[in-house]
Amino acid sequence: MSHLHPETVAVTAGRPAHESDQPLNVPIHLASTYVAGGELEYGRYGNPSWAAFEDVLGALEGGRCISLASGIAATSAVLDLVAPGGIVVAPRHSYTGTILQLEDRAAAGRVVLRLVDLTDADAVIAACEGAAMLWFESPTNPALEVADIAALTSGAHAHGALVVVDNTFATPLRQKPLAQGADLVVHSATKAISGHSDLIMGAVIAADAAHAEQLVARRSLGGAVPSAFEAFLALRGLRTLAVRLDRAEATARELVKRLSDHPRLEQVRYPGFSTVVSIVVRGGAEAADALTGSTKLWIHATSLGGVESTFERRRRWAAEADTIPAGLVRLSVGLEHADDLADDLIRALDAIG
């Protein structure tokens, strides 16, 4: 039933058949080995709890999903598709763990890295000449720049580069890169997909079967498999993604409205969708640290996409790009009431000395 809305798919896909005594949800399969002669054989090759999660996320993104132990394990599996010495083009504003991994591979001579400004589409496409892969996130972390996925994809494909989009911030409910021509989508399911800040998991979704098979092989060979328990929880979270996203976005828009003329803020950045807002506090690192140290509801913590609102000054991480303002604080908007979140934040901003 391909006409179903994504909200319906998120709830109905990946379930056992509607038959007497079948559970509604695929149970947690704790198994290292299976009786020989079937499809599964061994716990590193497959698990029904992974498969249920993969059916749902794959249906939402429009491709074949391979779950992995973390978002970074998904990144690693995808980068393993680049032949030794291949050129990888990536935005300089990317998730720090991705940049660290790319730099690590570049330092070891495994890839040649070309970092670009994602907002300059012509420059990104020009950098794809001779490249094996164009990798990007949109919106970017934490600058929240938005890319024209279809334009970058067709430009990169003209140079013969594989196109990978990290869709963690947007989620498949707001952006479907495979439908815009991308070859692979990467997710940190740790974030909005699972949504409760209680697990680490990742996934890759491939548009074509050949890439999917290569990635399944990477998972079996590399061993970065998710646990059955994490897969169960991630799917449980994914079932409610649509309502969580709708509410958190409504709150994010309200916060943006109320914060936009605050005298303590130099900038409020929000791409109009997703649960992430970035604010730039006047007074740099010191003022931003005063903010993150003085709220009652907003929790000073890294990561994003949970039901609880968190925030952090991104440049507290040494690996964050130095083109990100020192006073930039990334907000992950959760499900608390918008008034309470706004009051807490504005009181803390007002109190900065």
Distance (Å) of CA 173 to CA 87, 138, 181, 198: 31, 14, 17, 22
- Write each residue from 63 to 92 as x if it is in contact with ligand PLP (CB under 6 A), else as -, in one continuous string: -------xxx--------------------
Residue in 325, 64, 324 with CA at minimum distance from that of residue 213 = 64
Catalytic option among 55, 95, 315, 330: 95
Task: Answer yes or no: 191 catalytic.
Answer: yes
Instruction: Give, as ranges, the residues between 202 and 221 that touch ligand PLP (CB under 6 A).
Output: 202
Phi-psi region of 276 (alpha: psi -120 to 50; beta: other; left: phi over 0): beta
Which lies closer to ligand PLP via its Cβ, residue 124 or residue 201?
201
Considering the rule CB under 6 A, would residue 251 count as an interface residue with ligand PLP?
A: no
Considering the rule CB under 6 A, would residue 168 count as an interface residue with ligand PLP?
A: yes
Instruction: Give, as ranges, the residues between 8 and 47 that touch ligand PLP (CB under 6 A).
Output: none
Instruction: Give, as ranges, the residues between 120 and 139 that touch ligand PLP (CB under 6 A).
Output: 137
Pick the binder of ligand PLP from 43, 97, 271, 284 (CB under 6 A).
97
Which lies closer to ligand PLP via its Cβ, residue 9 or residue 224?
224
Catalytic option among 64, 105, 114, 191: 191
Site size toward ligand PLP, by CB under 6 A: 16
Task: Answer yes or no: 44 catalytic.
Answer: yes
Binding interface with ligand PLP (CB under 6 A)? 70-72, 95, 97-98, 137, 141, 166, 168-169, 188, 190-191, 200, 202
